[in-house]
Amino acid sequence: MTIKEVKEMLEAEVIIGSENLKREVKIGCAADLMSDILAFAKPGAILLTGLTNTQVVRTADVMDIKAICFVRGKRPDKKIVELARNNDMVILMTHLPMFESCGRLYKQGLLGVGYLDISKRDDRR
């Protein structure tokens, strides 16, 4: 799914990265808890969150996530936007709540990380 499709499905506003909307997102990850993203997200995902602080961008950067969508109409401040810009990310913002955002994307075929075993992660060979 391209970021452009995500944007349309979530009726979202592009905050930065409008030149990169053709990028593909392979998977969806949603959490307000960055600890969980650090533990379970996958590279190439789009991150949906209602949390707006610089840690969201840093977490995404560490996880090789290049697209973030803030839900519930949470508008990221300048510092967050600048940090995201420096890291070549696309930032969207939707007024939909988290559940509805995830539901719309999932219904259109964007999958999640699947069943999780809290004691393991599987991005290692």
Q: Which residues contact another protein by CB under 8 A?
A: 32-36, 38-39, 43, 49, 51, 53-56, 58-59, 61-64, 79, 87, 118-121, 123-125
**Nearer Cβ to another protein (4/58):** 58
Nearest distance in Å: CB 61, another protein:
5
Give the span between the Cα atoms of 75 and 4, in whole angstroms. 19
In the numeric block, the tokens 């509805």 are attached to 100
**Nearer Cβ to another protein (8/88):** 88
**Nearer Cβ to another protein (7/42):** 42
Give the span between the Cα atoms of 28 and 34, in whole angstroms. 14
Nearest distance in Å: CB 29, another protein:
13
Q: What does the H/E/C string look like for 52-99?
A: CCHHHHHHHHHCCCCEEEECCCCCCCHHHHHHHHHCCCEEEECCCCHH
